[in-house]
């Protein structure tokens, strides 16, 4: 005799839970109103001096190159902690003398970022077009699939921004297919509201999988030290010294390089 009563109680509980959940959903939607998508143009412009323009192990040639890197982005939120970005990015290097070093990349990509307790987990897809010269001849086309984890830590006047990134490149050029791992630490020490000392040490590892490069393994170690001046919140000028060394199991691919130059970074 008691069983129908228990059944009713259980049904009532489910019903109440359902109603509560529906109410929570509505209130959640009200509370977590996501901002509308926004457009931005973000980039860097720089003349840079390098003491190894062609990344040669033995034949070092100094040169100056100009490198703009400009993106148009659409950023938006799907929920309060899940954001997306759709972007187009253009970047090239134009050397004053060593024209063989000229190269350009056009990228179209999308990114999904989940923010969990300050950690940013991103999944990124990028369709890339690599050119010889400054958009002269298409060298190869790739599809990069990436996953990254990043976070910012603020300790007094120091901001630490670690990032790890894993990429696989699918490409129509067999030699370009590879795994890539990056570990980067952005460091900014604020001296006052306008001036900062900045550094970006990084380690990269590459495992090439196909073609003539099959079995090739490269590692890049780099450190930099710079002085940043904030012209505005969205425009800064940084002059830094960058040292980069690449080791490889293909001896000819080893090099070291020192670069010095100012760089204008902006976001509009």
> Are the C-beta atoms of 228 and 193 separated by less than 8 Å?
no
User: Which residue's structure tokens are 């050029």?
Assistant: 173
Helix (H) or strand (E) holding 257: strand 255-267
User: Which residue's structure tokens are 């190869």?
Assistant: 140
Q: Which of 23, 28, 51, 100 binds other proteins (CB under 8 A)?
A: 100
- Residue 22 CB, nearest distance to other proteins (Å)? 22
> Among residues 19 and 184, whose Cβ is nearest to other proteins?
184
- Say if strands 47-50 and 38-45 run parallel, antiparallel, or are unpaired: unpaired
> Among residues 17 and 211, whose Cβ is nearest to other proteins?
211
> Among residues 1 and 204, whose Cβ is nearest to other proteins?
204
Q: Which of 87, 111, 122, 218 binds other proteins (CB under 8 A)?
A: 218
For residue 10, report the phi and psi dihedrals to the nearest 5 degrees. -65, -45
- Residue 55 CB, nearest distance to other proteins (Å)? 5
Write the CA distances from 101 to 45, 49, 63, 134, integer angstroms.
18, 13, 10, 10
Distance (Å, rounded) from C-alpha 13 to C-alpha 113?
Answer: 37
Distance (Å, rounded) from C-alpha 14 to C-alpha 243?
Answer: 64
> Are the C-beta atoms of 247 and 256 separated by less than 8 Å?
no
Site for other proteins in 224-243 (CB under 8 A): 224, 228, 233-236, 238, 242
Residue 221 in the binding site for other proteins (CB under 8 A) = no
> Footprint of other proteins on this chain (CB under 8 A)?
31, 33, 35-36, 38-44, 54-56, 59, 67, 69, 75, 80, 89, 91-93, 100-101, 103, 105, 130, 132, 139-140, 159, 161, 163, 165, 173, 175-176, 180, 182, 184, 186, 188, 198, 200, 202, 204, 206, 212-213, 218, 220, 222, 224, 228, 233-236, 238, 242, 244, 252-253, 263, 265-268
């Amino acid at each position: 005799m008691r069983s129908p009563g228990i059944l009713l109680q259980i049904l009532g509980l489910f019903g109440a839970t359902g109603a509560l959940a529906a109410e929570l959903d509505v209130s959640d939607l009200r509370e977590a109103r996501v901002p509308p998508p926004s457009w931005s143009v973000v980039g860097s412009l720089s003349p840079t001096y390098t003491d190894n323009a062609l990344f040669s192990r033995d034949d070092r040639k100094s040169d100056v190159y100009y490198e703009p890197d400009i993106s148009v982005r659409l950023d938006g939120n799907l929920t309060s902690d899940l954001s997306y970005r759709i972007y187009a990015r253009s970047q090239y290097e134009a050397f004053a003398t060593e024209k063989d070093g000229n190269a350009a990349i056009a990228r179209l990509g999308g990114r999904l970022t989940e923010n969990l307790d300050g950690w940013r987990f991103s999944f990124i897809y990028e369709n890339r077009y690599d050119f010889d010269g400054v958009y002269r001849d298409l060298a190869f086309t790739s599809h990069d699939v990436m996953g990254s984890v990043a976070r910012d830590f603020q300790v007094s006047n120091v901001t630490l921004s670690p990032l790890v990134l894993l990429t696989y490149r699918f490409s129509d050029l067999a030699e370009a297919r590879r795994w890539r791992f990056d570990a980067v630490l952005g460091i900014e020490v604020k001296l006052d509201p306008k001036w900062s000392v900045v550094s970006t040490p990084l380690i990269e590892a590459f495992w090439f999988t196909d073609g003539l490069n099959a079995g090739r393994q490269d590692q890049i170690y780099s450190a930099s030290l710079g002085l940043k001046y904030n012209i505005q919140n969205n425009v800064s000028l940084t002059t830094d010294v960058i040292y980069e060394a690449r080791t490889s199991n293909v001896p000819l691919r080893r090099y070291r390089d020192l670069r010095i130059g100012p760089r204008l970074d902006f976001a509009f």
